[in-house]
Structure 1
Amino acid sequence: MKICAGESVTLTATGGVTYEWVGLPGNGSTQIVSPTSTTTYSVFALGGNGCKVANPTSITIQVVPAIVSTLKDVNVCAGDSGILDAGSGTNYTYVWNTGATTQTISVSTPGTYTVTISNGVCSKVFSAQLINPTLPQFTNISYENHILTLSTTNPTGGTLEYSADNGFSWQTSNVFTNILDNTNYNLQVRVKDAKCSTSISFFTFVVINAITPNSDGKNDIVDFTGISSYNNFAASIFDRYGQEVFKASKNQTFWNGMLRGSLVLPTATYWYRVQWENPASKKLEQRSGWILLKNRN
């Protein structure tokens, strides 16, 4: 007789008035046993006058090892597939809730999957989930003096890593040094070694404090183009009397030292004011200061 590990079985003897069980208490006709390994049980039948049969009746209970599974939850990026592995064992057969009868299945829809594993004697149900994990999100990006600092959420509580070069290289520090001014960076954050990440584009905007519009390709303009596509973008330049000499628009995102694009302004110090929405924090960034214009004339 075979039973599964952890199960109990009732032994029933017949043909006597009372019974003598070998190694078991009591003299009744039944015994409930829970062997942990293959065990042989024996019983003598006794008549009404106390006579005992010469030879006992025996039964061997074979304990089949418990069914175990390596099945576990799998995290994959949205749109990707993952492998659910039920594990192997002696005489194992499989029936998944998807209808598959293989040890492993490939699935792409998030949810709970179950498999019934049998070995010819025992069966047991196991379950696991295919999970699209919640990705970390950027909450703020700050840039100053060639240092870029990233702030993010961490919904899984795992170790995060960051990239400032579109995922080519990664680091666990959220601070990047030796960053270039007025350069667009594709920033990414992910749980360490994960296949999917969250990305954001960030322009390291800095206003140069002096321009010389002589068409030599060096410091010819004050360029707002890198932040002009951000929400709530606005930029203006004023002379020392407070007169607006330049106002940025979608079609004009840089100042070349001229008044309304046609009149050359004199060499002088001018005042700028610019604002835009930080793409991570969604808060308004504002800058103001002075620009020295050294014009051709």
Structure 2
Amino acid sequence: MNIKRHILLAFFFLLTNFAFAQTIPNVVRIRLGSSVKFAVRDQTGLYSYQWYRDGKPIANASGAAYTASVAGLYQVISISAEGCKSDLSDGFLLIIEYADLEVSKISEKRYVGPGEAFEYQISVQNNGIIDATGIEVIDKLPSNLKFIGTIGEQIGNVTVADQVITWRIPTLANKQKLVLSLNTTAIKAGTVVNTASVTAIEPDPNLANNMATDIKEIIGDVVVPNVITPNGDGRNDVFKIDGLELHPNHTLFIFNRWGNEVYRSNGPYKNDWNGNGLNEGTYYYLLKIKEKNGSERSTTGWITLIKD
């Protein structure tokens, strides 16, 4: 006995809708987090059922109806009281609709100091399968960061209040990406940690990419140490001069106590001198820096080299 059932019922949002399966499956769309009920309409003479998703049996799905919330092609086999099985029915292709928003925030890679303007870029992209609406990007600026303004034209509306930048976008289509460029300046030297977040009206299955953090180091004044201990413990192993990143045009000279040159940087100093091959003792340095305005300045001092 071969029983074939081709007709399923689909119930959407508590409203009963009759859908007749064809050779090409009917497409059913629901929002992420919702569900739809499929059922065998004509149950005369039938004993049990087996529901399938994407051609594989679903565990414990043996009733005349099945509530689905996972995307896939749903079909059913009917079993008569005598144990005869039908062929797989035609089915419904269930598509889960969602908007997957991804935000990123990136600062300029160049070195900057306090009071020097630099740019941030905030980008938001919809990786989902439907349009996202009511998008809101929030960027809470840390206290060390001052907002100057936006750069170029932007889609949507940007407002700033109490160090909070709010970027509202009416609609973002599937795979569409928008970028907002911000001009800022840091008040003082140090590490600036800045995080942006994004939300929308539609459900988002991947909240991990709804926030993005940028870490920017604001370079301070040139600071030269006066001792190095190259013993491999990770502390003071090299002669490290802070702040040279803002002054790429410089040369470092190191002399022994008799005035003999023992080291000269080949171009910008790479913070890598460790006194290799030299005896313990006091050495002297001369740091020549060419400023951005073309002027030159020199800094001198002493270094104590200690070898444990």
For normalisation by structure 2, the TM-score amounts to: 0.36
Looking at secondary structure, tell me which structure has more strand per residue. Answer: 2
For normalisation by structure 1, the TM-score amounts to: 0.37
Q: Which has the larger radius of gyration?
A: 1
Relative contact order, CA 8 A, sep 6+: which one is greater? 2
